[in-house]
Chains A and B, each alone.
Chain A
Amino acid sequence: MHDSILNFRSYRYLWVSILLCAGSLTAYLWHDPIGVPNGGSWLGYTLGTIGAVLIVWLLWFGIRKRRYGRAIGTARGWLSAHVYLGTSLILISLLHSGFQVGWNIHTLALVLMLLVIFSGFFGVYAYLRYPALMTRNRASATREAMVAEIRELDAQALQLADKVDKSVHDAILRSIQNTRLGGGLWAQLTAKDDSGQALTRLKEAVTQAATADKQHRSGQTMVVMVDFLANQANDVQSDTLRRLIDLVSRKRALASRVARDIQLQALMEIWLYIHVPLSLALLGALTAHILSVFFYW
């Protein structure tokens, strides 16, 4: 089976987390605190300490992953432990609090922690799923190569268009200007590209040229286009137009793949923009939580 962050060393850290959770749960069920279960009992303090140490250790992953080759263990091992031990925090923190929540910094820390963990779950999904999708989408090309190919196709298209008709040339010119690869956050995540429009405009331009040519102002685009192509006196021009449509279609396919590539990469990264800032916010809330409970012991 393929070795992933989840099954690293035969699920070593899954077992560690299960043991940790089972131990905590057993202690919680066995423990008979004064009053109701809460963070102030000896078990509450113990689970709280385990939780706080885990959170700091999980945050350390952000530093560890940048230390290539001069740290203990492999990055994959650390990530596997990061995922499983991070997940175990859900139970440990809830047991620590005795399932008590309120409008306070303590529950805010809990909520931040849960948001960090659940955004991390998306990250695990993204890391396991998107690389394969990206590879398949790129079809053994690189994004730079695809972008270069689009530029090349644009140049070829302009040359061909010039040979057909000035309205066709204008349509191609406009489509080159309007080709949008990438964009803002939303555009990247939704994989928007305008390459589809280029083909439509080209067809419109051909239709326009044809109707102008034959004084034929009615009829459907495709019919008119085929008609135009079929009736072209100049075989060379007709052939050029076919090649042009082929070029624009190829460009469209390429642009879509680039947009999808950008989208997949953005999806693979976007959760980190929630995971990382929130984990630092959690560090702040956790510090406030710990200091405040001992300030008013």
Chain B
Amino acid sequence: MKWHIRRVVKKGKGSVSYEEEIHFGDTLSIGRAADQAIFVNDLRAALEHATVTVLGNGRYRIEALVASGIRLDGRLEQNATATSGSQIEVGNTRITLVDPPKDFEAAVEVSLVDKTEVAAREDAEALPMTLAEAGAGKRRAAWIGLVSMLIIGLGIPLAAHYVPTLRIATEHMPMVAINAWDTGRLHDAHHTMAGDCQACHGEPFEVVQDEKCVACHTATPAHADPAQFPLPDIAEARCAHCHRDHNGNEGLVRNDQILCSDCHRNLTERIPNQTLLTNVEDFGRSHPQFSVLLPAWAEDGSFAPVRTSMDQIPLIESSGLKFPHATHLRERGVTSPSGTVNLVCADCHTAEPGGALIAPIDFEQHCQDCHRLDFDLRIPDRQVPHADVAAVQYMLDEFYAKVALEGGYDDVTAPVIVRQRRRPGQPPPSQEERREALAWAQQKSTQTTDTLFSGRACGVCHSVSKDPAAVRGGWQVAPVRVAGQWYEKSRFTHNAHVTMDCEACHIASQSQASADLLIPEITNCRQCHAGEHHQELLPSTCIACHGFHQSEHVLPSANL
């Protein structure tokens, strides 16, 4: 194997000269030892540092003989294959593999590595010693953070606001598009609108307008007469001032005391001579006595209850009924056709289906078992109908006419034709006899009716009177109201109090007369309930009993 070795000798001022030599052998040895083909005069080279072997076709095998390796084309290698043009560096010497000239199998060019070049390379190869040198950057990451937040938080949601298809597509993706703006869970009542922000939020940067609310809530009553007390004058005008959503199931409906007491604590000074209401601030401390609706009837007979303060003395309930509670609730019980019965409140008083009010008393259901309306000892099963004066007379007229015509009525005061039982084949009674029988029947019916109304039946419980001008009958029963709404301004519900004993509020067992009003007044409620901030009693705000929107007028904006 014939090697061509060309040494580049620098002569200063940039001029160079070449020294050429020929080397014979399979390998070209490189090292600091004197016997090496290429002598490297540098301590950084081992005595026998590396060898280059020709593989043919312009390829060479480079082998380092020491563990420190050699630098081939800038990289440290132990064992590698190289081609012409590759550069090997050992210490201060650079050996470039070149295409062999004619008659040579291999050729290298040997030169010294420039010191400045080495220094530059060392600097370039020096490992980073600070984070900045290691490529860490704050500026780029900061820009990425800033811009990505603006895109996620503003760009995409804004796009979804203006592009309905994007909004619908991202409707159920948390944190995406408009959902990123969601400030909190909607109240359950509004959940159907969760994906449609514009159902409430109209123009950008504009507060939620009332029109959006009343678009659905069309029949919302006003707080007071909108003509006399325009809402902007008595409170903040917007619905959303009080009704704030995106706070879960809390906060949408206000039930704090200040909502009302803000104005009502000094209402009489605020609007003097314009209101019938009294000042109120706190249920426990400052609330007027209740006003009850006492039953009363107008001239025309229509029910016209009179609102009366529970402080009025005497306080008489004119229910139209004579009913001593004490008698019915006495401990030894009451005598009934089926024996002695111990009555309890619920035997007569049950809640209406809604649970708020007590259902009216029903004679047939609650009274008739004991207070029977039978009228003739001979036919004890027959009873007159209840609550219809005219029907009683009709029924008795018809009943006794039938009895008289059929005969067989066992009464010594009755004419013979009435007492005589008709037999089959016997000729029908004569005209005269029939007239006589019907005359008796009418007399008997009138007499029985009078007895029923005046004493034995109706008069026991009802106030009964007779029209003196009436030729026959003329009985009148005073109207009755025993159950219904007593406090029209509040929303009391029995449902919330079913765990209590009835006597806790209604002291019925002591009541001897129906004139006793058994409806509780404010001190009774204050045994348990007090104002919002009371520490021991049940904190109850105005909204517990009253409604803000309870005027008979509908919100004016609802008519837009």
Answer whether A159 and B43 are a contact pair too, CB < 8 Å, given A182-B129, A273-B141: yes
Please give, as numbers and ranges, the residues of chain A lying within 8 Å of B144 by CB-CB distance.
277
Residue interface mask A266-297, B partner, CB < 8 A = 1? 10011011001111111111011101111111
Docked pose: A280 CA to B154 CA in angstroms: 15
Complex contact A287–B143 (CB within 8 A): no
Task: Give me 19 other A-B pairs in contact (C-beta within 8 A), A38-B251, A185-B131, A280-B145 excluded.
Answer: A35-B244, A104-B183, A108-B149, A158-B44, A159-B43, A170-B67, A171-B67, A173-B66, A182-B133, A183-B134, A188-B128, A273-B137, A281-B146, A284-B147, A287-B150, A292-B157, A293-B181, A295-B205, A296-B197
Docked pose: A35 CA to B137 CA in angstroms: 46
Docked pose: A199 CA to B246 CA in angstroms: 69
Contact pick for B252, options A35, A266, A273, A276, CB 8 Å: A35
Complex contact A277–B247 (CB within 8 A): no
- B392-425 residues at the A interface, CB under 8 angstroms: none
Complex contact A291–B154 (CB within 8 A): yes
Q: Does B68 have its Cβ within 8 Å of any Cβ on chain A?
A: yes
Docked pose: A276 CA to B182 CA in angstroms: 27
Complex contact B181–A276 (CB within 8 A): no
- A137-189 residues at the B interface, CB under 8 angstroms: 143, 155, 158-159, 162, 166, 169-171, 173-174, 176-177, 180-185, 187-188
Complex contact A288–B184 (CB within 8 A): no
Question: Which 6 A/B pairs are nearest by Cβ-Cβ distance?
Answer: A35-B251, A288-B153, A281-B145, A284-B149, A277-B141, A182-B129
Contact pick for A266, options B131, B154, B244, CB 8 Å: B131
Docked pose: A112 CA to B142 CA in angstroms: 13
- B46-99 residues at the A interface, CB under 8 angstroms: 46-48, 66-69, 76
Residue of B nearest to A185 (CB): B134
- CB proximity of B166 to chain A, nearest CB, Å: 16
Q: Does A40 have its Cβ within 8 Å of any Cβ on chain B?
A: yes
Complex contact B153–A173 (CB within 8 A): no
Complex contact A173–B181 (CB within 8 A): no
Residue interface mask A30-56, B partner, CB < 8 A = 1? 001011101110000000000000000
Contact pick for A269, options B131, B152, B204, B248, CB 8 Å: B131
Contact pick for A35, options B44, B69, B182, B254, CB 8 Å: B254
Please give, as numbers and ranges, the residues of chain A lying within 8 Å of B143 by CB-CB distance.
280
Docked pose: A272 CA to B182 CA in angstroms: 32
Please give, as numbers and ranges, the residues of chain A lying within 8 Å of B43 by CB-CB distance.
155, 158-159, 162
Please give, as numbers and ranges, the residues of chain B lying within 8 Å of A289 by CB-CB distance.
153
Complex contact B145–A296 (CB within 8 A): no
Complex contact A280–B181 (CB within 8 A): no
Docked pose: A181 CA to B125 CA in angstroms: 11
Q: Does B130 have its Cβ within 8 Å of any Cβ on chain A?
A: yes
In the assembled complex, 13 residue pairs joining A and B whose CB atoms fall closer than 8 Å, in A order, are A38-B247, A102-B182, A105-B153, A158-B44, A162-B43, A182-B133, A262-B129, A265-B130, A273-B141, A276-B138, A278-B145, A284-B147, A288-B150
Segment at the interface with A among B172-180, B321-329, B340-348, B454-462: B172-180
Docked pose: A36 CA to B255 CA in angstroms: 11
Answer whether A104 and B251 are a contact pair too, CB < 8 Å, given A184-B134, A284-B146, A284-B153: no
Docked pose: A278 CA to B185 CA in angstroms: 27
Interface residues of A, count at CB 8 A: 64
Please give, as numbers and ranges, the residues of chain B lying within 8 Å of A280 by CB-CB distance.
142-143, 145-146
Please give, as numbers and ranges, the residues of chain A lying within 8 Å of B185 by CB-CB distance.
102
Please give, as numbers and ranges, the residues of chain A lying within 8 Å of B182 by CB-CB distance.
102-104
Docked pose: A13 CA to B256 CA in angstroms: 39
Residue of B nearest to A175 (CB): B68
Complex contact B148–A182 (CB within 8 A): no
Answer whether A166 and B47 are a contact pair too, CB < 8 Å, given A183-B128, A280-B142, A288-B152: yes
Q: Does A82 have its Cβ within 8 Å of any Cβ on chain B?
A: no
Please give, as numbers and ranges, the residues of chain B lying within 8 Å of A295 by CB-CB distance.
158, 161, 181, 204-205
Residue interface mask A88-99, B partner, CB < 8 A = 1? 000000000000
Docked pose: A105 CA to B154 CA in angstroms: 9
- CB proximity of A64 to chain B, nearest CB, Å: 17
Docked pose: A177 CA to B127 CA in angstroms: 12
Contact pick for B184, options A38, A185, A188, CB 8 Å: A38
Q: Does B491 have its Cβ within 8 Å of any Cβ on chain A?
A: no
- CB proximity of A90 to chain B, nearest CB, Å: 20
Docked pose: A185 CA to B175 CA in angstroms: 33
- CB proximity of B359 to chain A, nearest CB, Å: 37
Complex contact A287–B131 (CB within 8 A): no
Contact pick for A296, options B48, B181, B242, CB 8 Å: B181
Answer whether A36 and B251 are a contact pair too, CB < 8 Å, given A102-B182, A280-B145: yes
Please give, as numbers and ranges, the residues of chain B lying within 8 Å of A281 by CB-CB distance.
142, 145-146, 148-149
Q: Does A74 have its Cβ within 8 Å of any Cβ on chain B?
A: no
Docked pose: A159 CA to B147 CA in angstroms: 58
Docked pose: A284 CA to B204 CA in angstroms: 20
- CB proximity of B252 to chain A, nearest CB, Å: 7
- CB proximity of B432 to chain A, nearest CB, Å: 90
Answer whether A102 and B251 are a contact pair too, CB < 8 Å, given A32-B256, A280-B146: no
Complex contact B127–A182 (CB within 8 A): yes
- CB proximity of A291 to chain B, nearest CB, Å: 6
Answer whether A35 and B247 are a contact pair too, CB < 8 Å, given A266-B131, A280-B142, A281-B148: yes
Residue of B nearest to A166 (CB): B47
Q: Does B214 have its Cβ within 8 Å of any Cβ on chain A?
A: no
- CB proximity of A126 to chain B, nearest CB, Å: 13
Q: Does A232 have its Cβ within 8 Å of any Cβ on chain B?
A: no
Please give, as numbers and ranges, the residues of chain B lying within 8 Å of A162 by CB-CB distance.
43
Docked pose: A282 CA to B119 CA in angstroms: 45
Docked pose: A278 CA to B44 CA in angstroms: 49
Please give, as numbers and ranges, the residues of chain B lying within 8 Å of A135 by CB-CB distance.
none
Docked pose: A291 CA to B154 CA in angstroms: 8
Residue interface mask B279-292, A partner, CB < 8 A = 1? 00000000000000
Please give, as numbers and ranges, the residues of chain B lying within 8 Å of A102 by CB-CB distance.
182-185
Residue of B nearest to A201 (CB): B67
Complex contact B128–A106 (CB within 8 A): no
Q: Does B379 have its Cβ within 8 Å of any Cβ on chain A?
A: no
Residue of A nearest to B143 (CB): A280
Residue of B nearest to A277 (CB): B141
Complex contact A283–B146 (CB within 8 A): yes
Please give, as numbers and ranges, the residues of chain B lying within 8 Å of A266 by CB-CB distance.
130-131
Docked pose: A39 CA to B153 CA in angstroms: 18
Could you say which of B47, B148, B153 has the most chain A C-beta atoms within 10 Å of its C-beta? B153
Please give, as numbers and ranges, the residues of chain B lying within 8 Å of A269 by CB-CB distance.
130-132
Please give, as numbers and ranges, the residues of chain B lying within 8 Å of A169 by CB-CB distance.
46-47
